[in-house]
Structure 1
């Protein structure tokens, strides 16, 4: 059972001038560079380890910046397994930058064009969250951002939330920077994938087999129908599925986590008391995170989750991507 539950969710969901000691690492880039859209820039943030992390930014246009009646928080997007910063750059970065938000999408280490650390996996919840915290501390410290995570990226956001410390009240400088808000999109729940795996095995054995085949055996990389069923709506055209299939295949040079060690460390701790606003978003046609997983995340944070009709697990890439974007924008307008 452990192997099944571990395999079911092996998926997704500015350079600093610091002086650092360079570690031994594999410094490599993806063999295929994602072509940026108008208004987007590819930056490389230098981490304390010396490794560089890809960031795709798209700032709100200058006219909106001058006309803005109130300052909007920057948005920082975190992908899940088999994805990278490009998955946000397709639709959501242009949408939110045109809506008045400076937007940044991060590629975690060994994903996209970020550097690759030594070892068999890209990192842990702690290292990934610390890398994001370093980016925010270095570049966005004057304006607390909204942190948005998809799939396993949502679990990283949950870990980040659990480690925010109010620096003024505790007099510490060794803390994750505060956030204006946090959003979990089709996120792995706080307890991890074990509960999901058990439910699939008992109630949807065919689906459990397909998810394992698609993700653990990486058959989504070669089968368009299986890729579509795993990540997208049934209405997604073959050429578009094939395009994203190719990008996903090249996105991840190492798994984000050691899943056995990850599951042993869960559930994530409850956040300390802080004013961070939280939104939990799910997709009605999600083939990976079921409705009970969505409800678990909502209960954990005492918020009512929003389940969006007509979209699948890759909400930000799906053929109806604007549905999720508009719900998030409406939530952001209350800031």
Structure 2
């Protein structure tokens, strides 16, 4: 585990209501040979910590020459507690860690972490961004969540935890014992952040117009295929799909397929247009 250096990026209007400092857990894997490739900053979804990427994707990215870092959002994993965290606070964490990395970073967000990344892109000029099974919020997200998982979603509307099931997160290919072990590690997001996820405003446009890749599974029981298509269209592209996988692509049985696709895309060296 490595701690990010103290680098601050703040808008003028935020001086009046600064985000409370918190201890941030950042796990990392570095390549044996430094080739000058952009570092990757992985941002997990609600309930997940940096461990979700450390399980497979960090080491795999490093083996292909990319410095890889995973952040536990405040209140998650080994980061400091934050029961009343907001999406703004989560995005602040991402921006601060990204700004501390050796070079302009690629931001990779999963699930609700993709929404956090989308908000961070309005403040941090990323080299590129990847939205994995993105949950981008709003009333459509609430409706889909209530239809697909009413018992797990209703408590979140009154300040309780948002609960996801093994059936939603993983394919049948993942051994049951392993799936249950992962589910047992899930925590919860801040109450305000959960409410903002389900009902909140859309992110501002990204700074510098970075290239954005959207990927997911048409069999995801959290994010419908139509949502993946809409998310990709926002950035002028089509989603990259991995049939047969669950929502947690980085932990599912065929975890190497999506991360290799991400790294192949990045090796084409996309650069911001501004």
Task: Please give the range of the TM-score, normalised by the shorter of the 2 chains.
Answer: 0.7 to 0.9
1:55 aligns with 2:44: no
1:136-168: CA deviations, max 9, x gaps? 22x22x51010000000000111112x23xxxx
1:228 aligns with 2:166: yes
1:186 aligns with 2:146: no
Q: Is the 8 A contact 1:186 1:294 kept in 2?
A: yes
Q: Is the 8 A contact 2:139 2:199 kept in 1?
A: no
1:153 aligns with 2:113: yes
- Corresponding residue to 1:130 among 84, 89, 92: 92
- Give, in angstroms, the shift of residue 183 of structure 1: 0.5
- Give, in angstroms, the shift of residue 213 of structure 1: 2.0
* TM-score calculated relative to the size of structure 1: 0.69
Q: Identify unmatched segments of 5+ residues in structure 2.
A: 9-17, 270-274
- Corresponding residue to 1:211 among 149, 161, 174: 149
- Corresponding residue to 1:267 among 198, 202, 205: 202
- Corresponding residue to 2:54 among 71, 89, 105: 89
Q: Distance in 2 between matches of 1:211 and 1:305?
A: 24
Q: Distance in 1 between matches of 2:175 and 2:193?
A: 34
Q: Is the 8 A contact 1:279 1:305 kept in 2?
A: yes
Which protein is bigger by CA-based radius of gyration? 1
Q: Distance in 1 between matches of 2:198 and 2:154?
A: 16
| 2:140 aligned residue | 195
Q: Is the 8 A contact 2:245 2:254 kept in 1?
A: yes
1:113 aligns with 2:58: no
Q: Distance in 2 between matches of 1:267 and 1:72?
A: 31
Q: Does the C-alpha gap of structure 1 residues 216 and 323 become closer, same or farther in structure 2, counting only changes over 3 Å?
A: farther
Q: Is the 8 A contact 1:74 1:143 kept in 2?
A: yes
SS of residue matched to 1:112: coil
Q: Does the C-alpha gap of structure 1 residues 311 and 130 become closer, same or farther in structure 2, counting only changes over 3 Å?
A: same
- Give, in angstroms, the shift of residue 284 of structure 1: 2.0
Q: Does the C-alpha gap of structure 1 residues 330 and 213 become closer, same or farther in structure 2, counting only changes over 3 Å?
A: same
- Give, in angstroms, the shift of residue 129 of structure 1: 1.0
1:13-37: CA deviations, max 9, x gaps? x244689xxxxxxxxxxxxxxxxxx
Q: Distance in 2 between matches of 1:229 and 1:78?
A: 22
SS of residue matched to 1:184: strand
Q: Is the 8 A contact 1:286 1:312 kept in 2?
A: yes
Q: Is the 8 A contact 1:128 1:156 kept in 2?
A: yes
* TM-score calculated relative to the size of structure 2: 0.83
| 1:291 aligned residue | 225
Greater CA drift, 283-292 or 258-267: 258-267
